[in-house]
Amino acid sequence: MEPDIVTEMTLAIIKPDAVKAQHAGEILSMYEKHPQFKIRGIKLMHMDRKTAEGFYEIHRERPFFEELVTFMMSGPCIVMAIEGKHAVSAHRDFIGATNPQHAQEGTVRKRFGTSIGNNAVHGSDSPENGIKEVNYFFDISELVDINWAHTWA
């Protein structure tokens, strides 16, 4: 008997460092070719302070908060809502370790990241945060062909 397949949503961000280095097209192509992922929403944006601070609110008390917010405001980024089977863990494997030097060969961060801070992409860390983060950047009307089994806040 085949185990239940869990379809999840996760947020992906192609960060300002990768967009500035003109790697966005190659990274998007990697997402499109991944057999588990369906891009359900995508937008190019330039985060303002309020958006960046709100998104990273969980890190507000950490010493790197201001540096992170400033970095995310430093240029355009691409946010994507990704749906797929076990999307959160599959996406974390796909993007690789936070430190590109420790990332597996073939992962996004190994190919395009240059440091822990400039690691090219963001990925949600749990199914709960995946939905929360997708909802932060997307209205339900901006998502296409989604699996309506997801819970939307």
Identify whether 56 is part of a domain: no
pLDDT mean across residues, the chain = 93
DSSP labels, 106-121 = TSHHHHH--SSSS-SE
Identify whether 59 is part of a domain: no
Q: Indicate which CATH number applies to the domain containing 136.
A: 3.30.70.141
Q: What is the pLDDT of residue 1?
A: 39
3-state secondary structure of 104: coil
> How many separate domains does the chain show?
1
More confident residue, 149 or 23: 23
Q: What is the pLDDT of residue 151?
A: 52
Identify whether 13 is part of a domain: yes
**What is the spatial distance between Cα 107 and Cα 112, in angstroms, rounded to a whole number?**
9
User: What number of other Cβ atoms are within 10 A of residue 7's Cβ?
Assistant: 16
Give pTM, 2 decimals: 0.92
Q: Which residues are catalytic?
A: 122
Which residue segment(s) compose the domain that 127 sits in? 7-47+77-142
